């Protein structure tokens, strides 16, 4: 059987910050849960009881207790490296789509459309649209179809 973990020593300032994060409507739910875990741990509640009360696992409670002790309140807002969805396109694929958009035109047309570029690049039209948006490309608008770092052709304000 496990022994009960010692209560976390929580500074008054940190307690105020964590309570604010738990109550605020615009706090990400992950941060609110982590804050609630640390607040309960500071009140001396056992890891099993915290997990049961907050609908999470004992492992999660232990993880966030340790991260708070190691890094303070700011550690509760950090996302560990390697988390999240990995990019499905490589940087080379994105660069080739951008280069083709800027330097070429499709056969029988004056500019690329998302669909025509998607067919050639073998990706979805939404992917092409996201790449164009991220790079500030709008091939259908002649006056804004210049790279934003070209001083001769200033970009139109969005």
Distance CA 99, CA 119 (A): 16
pLDDT computed for residue 143 by the predictor: 57
Distance CA 30, CA 76 (A): 9
Which band of pLDDT confidence, cut at 50, 70 and 90, is reported for residue 7?
confident
Provide the CA 48 distance to its chain's centre, in angstroms: 30
Instruction: Give per-residue pLDDT as tens, 79-90.
Output: 888 877 888 899
pLDDT computed for residue 111 by the predictor: 87
pLDDT computed for residue 15 by the predictor: 94
Instruction: Give per-residue pLDDT as tens, 93-143.
Output: 999 999 999 888 888 888 899 999 999 999 999 999 999 999 988 887 765
Instruction: Give per-residue pLDDT as tens, 16-41.
Output: 999 999 999 999 999 999 999 999 99
Tell me what percent of the residues of the chain surpass a pLDDT of 90: 64
Could you give the count of Cα atoms lying within 13 Å of 14 in the half-sphere of its Cβ? 18
Distance CA 99, CA 37 (A): 49
Assess whether pLDDT exceeds 50 at residue 65.
Answer: yes
pLDDT computed for residue 142 by the predictor: 60
104 — alpha (psi -120 to 50), left (phi > 0) or beta? beta
pLDDT computed for residue 25 by the predictor: 93
pLDDT computed for residue 17 by the predictor: 95
Nearest Cα to Cα of residue 97 among 132, 134, 147: 132
pLDDT computed for residue 45 by the predictor: 93
pLDDT computed for residue 1 by the predictor: 63
């Amino acid at each position: 059987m496990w022994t009960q973990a010692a209560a976390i020593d929580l500074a008054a300032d940190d307690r105020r910050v964590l309570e604010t994060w738990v109550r605020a409507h615009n706090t990400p739910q992950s941060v609110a849960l982590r804050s609630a875990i640390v607040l309960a741990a500071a009140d001396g509640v056992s890891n099993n009881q915290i997990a049961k009360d907050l609908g999470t696992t004992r492992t999660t409670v232990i993880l966030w207790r340790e991260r708070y002790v190691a890094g303070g309140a700011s550690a509760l807002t950090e996302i560990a490296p390697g988390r999240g969805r990995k990019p499905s396109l490589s940087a080379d694929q994105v660069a080739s789509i951008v280069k083709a958009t800027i330097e070429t035109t499709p056969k029988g047309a004056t500019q690329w459309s998302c669909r025509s570029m998607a067919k050639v690049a073998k990706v979805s039209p939404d992917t092409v649209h996201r790449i164009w948006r991220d790079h500030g490309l709008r091939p259908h608008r002649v006056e804004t179809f210049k790279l934003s770092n070209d001083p001769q052709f200033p970009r139109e304000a969005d």
